Every structure is written in C-alpha cells, then in structure tokens.
Amino acid sequence: MATTSAAARPSPGSLLQRARAPTADELADIAWLRALDADERAVVVDDLKVVSVEARELLCRAGKPVTYWFGVVDGLLKMSNDTALGVPITLIGLPPGGWFGEGTLIKREAYRYDIQALRRSVVAGLGVETFHWLLDRSLPFNRFITQQLNERLGQFIAAREIDRLSNPDSRVARGLAALFHPVLYPGVGSLLRITQQELGYLVGLSRQRVNEALRALQASGLIRVEYGGVSVLDLDGLRQHR
C-alpha cells in the first residue's frame, strides 16, 4: 500500500509493513464479497489486506502508481487534490463501507488525488491484479463496479453543486446527505460517527459555522445530533435543502 512522507507518518513503518489479514467480522462487512462464488471468494480473501491509518496520514498520494482498490472498514477519509494555485480542495468524504478508486484501477493510471485519514481509520485493500482478475471472470462483480461508477458520477455532480451553494446550512445538509449514500457507503447506516471539525473539513466551513448549521437542521427535523455523531431523520430533505 502507498507510503507517506516522514512529516505525514505518525506511526512507524510503511502502510504495507503494518498491513495484516482481515478478520472474519471485517470480511462479513464487505457487501460485494458475498456475491462472489466460492473460488473467487477464496482468491480475494487470500489477497485482501487491512491496515490502520493514523489521523492525517496519507493512504494514497497524487502521482503515485495505482496499487490497491481500497475500502473503508472503520473511520473517515477524505479525497482531495490541489488547485492550480496549490491549494488543496476536498472532493468527497469516505465513511465506512465505501470502496473507491475503481476508475483509476480500470485504467491503471496514477492516482489523481490524495486520500488522507481525518481520524484513525481501518482500511482494506485488494491488489490491482486481483481486481482485474475479478473483472475478467465475475459478472456480479462487474455489476457492482458498474453501479459504483454510476453512483460516484452522481456524487461528484452533487459535490460540484455543493461548492456553488452560498447558504452554509445547505452546504452542511448536502454534505451530510452525501455521506449517508446507501449504495456507496452501506456501512454508515442511520448514524454517522463524525465530529463538527471533520464535517467542517469536508464542506469547507469552520467548526463554529458547522455547529450553527447542525442546530438549524435539527430544529427543522432533518437530523438529530447525537453524542459523537449525527442521525439522519429525513435524507430527501437534506438532499433538497436550499
């Protein structure tokens, strides 16, 4: 798995050196794995690696060759890239259950973005060759990847719309709705573990302004602020908030 610079590496050893085999519980949470036949599943389980990524540590760096298809087991990541002025902008957040990078793997390109942990996270990785092996032989896997690409396209279009919103409450509402995507992030469920600071990083607002927005959205009956997270009461309402 990708390595990081010394400044961005809070714990010793590269990600690959720290990787381990997945546990039975971690495998049970990978939805697409259940659609494979026994032989395919055995190959995938043998190849899968799991690693803990510390807060602010980079999992992928723009310009590095693609190595793995990644999925979030636990925690929260962000995908970002640099603008022409060298200022990083956040593209999307990646909560539990989310697999990402399939487009890059299919084209065998270098990463065009950075993936960084917003807090200590657990991430699974499937090697690029095993990924292509599945594409060549598994119809259910191809269906899953096609759906992923389609839903991801819609997510990036929505993210572009969020960037143009001037109403901070709407930015927070739409940003939360994106993190509760039932297809892309099936591991989230109805409660998302996220802090106001983390949400601020994802939507480009201060923690104080996110706090105000969350209170307004709760007063409108769209969400419920819980200890350490947010529950969604009206997902469609969040998606359409203006």
Report the alpha-carbon distance of residue 92 to residue 62 in Å, rounded.
Answer: 15
CATH number for 165-239: choose from 3.40.50.300, 1.10.8.100, 1.10.3860.10, 1.10.10.10: 1.10.10.10
pTM over 0.85: no
pLDDT of residue 152: 87
The rounded distance, in Å, linking the Cα atoms of 225 and 219 is: 10
Distances (CA, A) of 79 to 21, 58, 92, 117, 143: 25, 10, 5, 9, 24
100-127: b (≥16 Cβ within 10 Å) or e = bbbebbbeeeebebbbbbbbbbbbbbbb
Q: Check residue 234 and give its pLDDT.
A: 93
Which pLDDT belongs to residue 83?
56
Report the mean per-residue pLDDT for the chain.
88
DSSP bridge pairs for 114:
80
Res. 103: pLDDT tops 80? yes
Q: Would the pLDDT of 44 be above 80?
A: yes
Predicted local confidence at residue 241, as pLDDT = 87
Helix/strand/coil for 126: strand
- Residues 6+ away with beta carbon under 8 Å from 111: 2, 60, 61, 62, 63, 64, 65, 66, 101, 104
Tell me the per-residue pLDDT of 106-137, one tens digit each, with 9 for 90 and over. Answer: 999 999 889 999 999 999 999 999 999 999 99
- Tokens of residue 192, six digits: 């998302």
- Please check whether the domain covering 6-158 is classified as CATH 2.60.120.10: yes
Higher-confidence residue of 81 and 119: namely 119
Q: For position 85, what pLDDT does the model report?
A: 54
pLDDT in tens, 161-183: 776 767 899 999 999 998 999 88
Q: Report yes or no: 174 and 187 within 8 Å, Cβ to Cβ.
A: no
Phi, psi of 72 (to 5 degrees): -85, 115
Domain 6-158 and domain 165-239 have a common topology? no
Per-domain residue ranges of the chain: 6-158, 165-239
Tokens representing residue 30 in the block: 């990978």
